[in-house]
Amino acid sequence: MNTTAAFLFLLLVALAGANLPWLTDRVLFILRPPPQGKREWIRLLEWFVMFCVVGVIAVGLEYRSTGQVESQDWEFYVVVICLFLVFALPGFIYHHDLRRHLRKRRRRAA
């Protein structure tokens, strides 16, 4: 896999991983949701788990393409977390706002 393909793959995985906690009601993507629904702290925990998974994939791709892993300072990690937050925005908006509006529209149409 060349560097461009690895970068595009990582971006797609990060985009999907950042949005998954808000697009599914299953806990950790495999367990049935509790009767009261999935709480926000569970979604945030899943988001952090996906952040770590994407980070491991990124380190693996970096090592595979360059043969080493560069050490980073704290600024790098702050930027990466902010970027992952921005990637999660579509799923967050869908879960908290758009889904409600789509349900109202479906009820009016029926």
Handedness of CA 15, 21, 22, 26 (dihedral sign): positive
Does residue 102 register a pLDDT over 80?
Answer: no
Arithmetic mean of pLDDT over the chain: 89
In angstroms, the CA 19 to CA 86 distance is 10
Residue 87, pLDDT above cutoff 90: yes
% of the chain at pLDDT higher than 90? 51
pLDDT digits (tens, 9 = 90+) for 8-51: 999 999 999 999 998 888 888 788 877 888 888 989 999 999 99
Q: Which helix (H) or strand (E) holds 109?
A: helix 99-109
Higher pLDDT, 110 or 45: 45
| Entry pTM | 0.83
Domain boundaries, the chain: 3-109
Residue 19, Cβ neighbours under 10 Å: how many?
20
Q: Give me the pLDDT at residue 73, please.
A: 92
Q: Using alpha carbons, select from 53, 44, 57 the residue that is nearest to residue 85.
A: 44
The C-alpha atoms of residue 27 and residue 14 are separated, in whole angstroms, by: 19
Rounded to an integer, the average pLDDT of 62-71 is 89
Residues 80, 94: Cα–Cα separation, whole Å: 22
> Looking at the predicted structure, is the pLDDT value of residue 1 above 80?
no
Contact 56, 14 (CB under 8 A): no
Cα separation, 14 vs 19, in Å, equals 9
- In the chain, count of helices (H) and strands (E)? 4, 0
